[in-house]
Amino acid sequence: MKIARYPGGKIQFVAMFCFLSITAVTLGKSAHAQTGKFDGIYAGSQTLTDSGPVTNYSQCLRGPFKRKLVVKDGIATYTFNPTYQGRVIGTINADGDVSGAAREPSGGVSLSGKIAGGAFTGEVWSLYCTYTLQLKRVR
């Protein structure tokens, strides 16, 4: 009975659903395009700092070490320890800010930094060790 009383109601619902669907797809593509501009491989060095939470760095490897950050579709993957494939997986926003974390038996590893001007500058740290990252886009 409601359909007969309000014949335009069903059409309005379908029109609103289509509008919202198109808007959601457009916004999703826009966000992907913004973060996609950072896609690539960034290579450089991981160097131990003395600004970590522990003053005894005997458990930390000094380095510097050659490392890579891979960014694809708004996801950043950083291999902080290639010996056992220790990886941090994080996200990148439209401004180039990167953040991520990985659970590890030793307490976890975190990553933060920023991509700007074809380079990534940031830090990766664990319970004992803090490293600075200086990486340049190579692809």
Same domain, 107 and 58: yes
Same domain, 24 and 46: no
For 1-139, where are the alpha helices, taking DSSP H only?
2-5, 7-36
Same domain, 50 and 94: yes
pLDDT at residue 115, as a whole number? 97
Closest to 122 (Cα-Cα) out of 81, 59, 78: 78
CATH value at residue 67? 2.40.128.120
Same domain, 61 and 123: yes
pLDDT in tens, 12-46: 433 333 333 444 444 444 444 455 899 999 999 99
Q: Cα(136)–Cα(139) distance, rounded to whole angstroms?
A: 9
- Burial of residue 99, with CB atoms counted within 10 A of its CB: 0-12 exposed, 13-18 middle, 19 or more buried: middle
Q: Cα(24)–Cα(126) distance, rounded to whole angstroms?
A: 38
Using alpha carbons, list the distances in angstroms from residue 62 to 45, 117, 128. Answer: 12, 28, 12
Count of domains for the chain: 2
Structural domain boundaries, residue 123: 38-137
What is the pTM for the complete model shown? 0.71
Q: Is the pLDDT of residue 111 over 90?
A: yes
Same domain, 115 and 61: yes
Same domain, 83 and 130: yes
Same domain, 31 and 42: no
- Pick 128 or 90 by higher pLDDT: 90
Same domain, 52 and 75: yes
Which residue reads 């976890």 in tokens? 108
pLDDT in tens, 52-88: 555 566 778 888 999 999 999 999 999 988 877 789 9
Same domain, 57 and 114: yes
Q: Cα(74)–Cα(97) distance, rounded to whole angstroms?
A: 10
Same domain, 102 and 54: yes
Same domain, 67 and 30: no
Using alpha carbons, list the distances in angstroms from residue 101 to 34, 76, 110. Answer: 22, 11, 4
